[in-house]
Structure 1
Amino acid sequence: MGIFQIFKQIISSISNRLPFSKENIKRIKLLGLVLLSIPVIEWVADSLMLMYYSGIYSMKYMSLENSNSFDWAMFNLSLLIYTLGFAFEQGRKLQEEQDLTI
């Protein structure tokens, strides 16, 4: 299941007036975790490739360098989306309480 398909399902359920469904909460948390894994995997892959290729392609006055930067914007965005899943969980509880009250 791709990121865009998850996003499409979330939008579809919200447009069907089911924003706080259990499936939606799972989708939002899954989307956050998938997006969280992207910068981590990129950073690990860059570090591993640098270690591998620096041993093979070493020259006297040249060296391979890695920017060694971590994509903090993507990391923070994914944490925000994952946290949104918990907010939707609270919204579901409030909706259930309201449905019982009426």
Structure 2
Amino acid sequence: MHHFLIHKRGDQVGVATTDIAAGQQVVGVFMDDDSELTVTSLQNVPLGHKISIGVLEKGGRVIEYGIPIGIAPEGLTEGEYVHTHNIKSARW
């Protein structure tokens, strides 16, 4: 059973398809080839919210759907809850 979906190879986040608990080992599925990835969640991630699937350096661009959706001023760690507290718009 999967817990999150990753839209495209190269994306840095997946979208939770169920509530994810902190410390839970969760499986994600890449939608473009059905391959799987397992990460351990560092925080609770609510249904429909994002989870980081890898490490991103400070100021790095957050990629989803194959396009940048924002910037992570402090970077991201694998399994981290990704939301407005740790990503900022790249537009302004």
| Structure number with larger C-alpha Rg | 1
| Structure with the higher fraction of residues in strand conformation | 2
- TM-score bracket, shorter-length normalisation: under 0.3
Higher relative contact order (CA 8 A, sep 6+): 1
TM value normalised by structure 2? 0.25
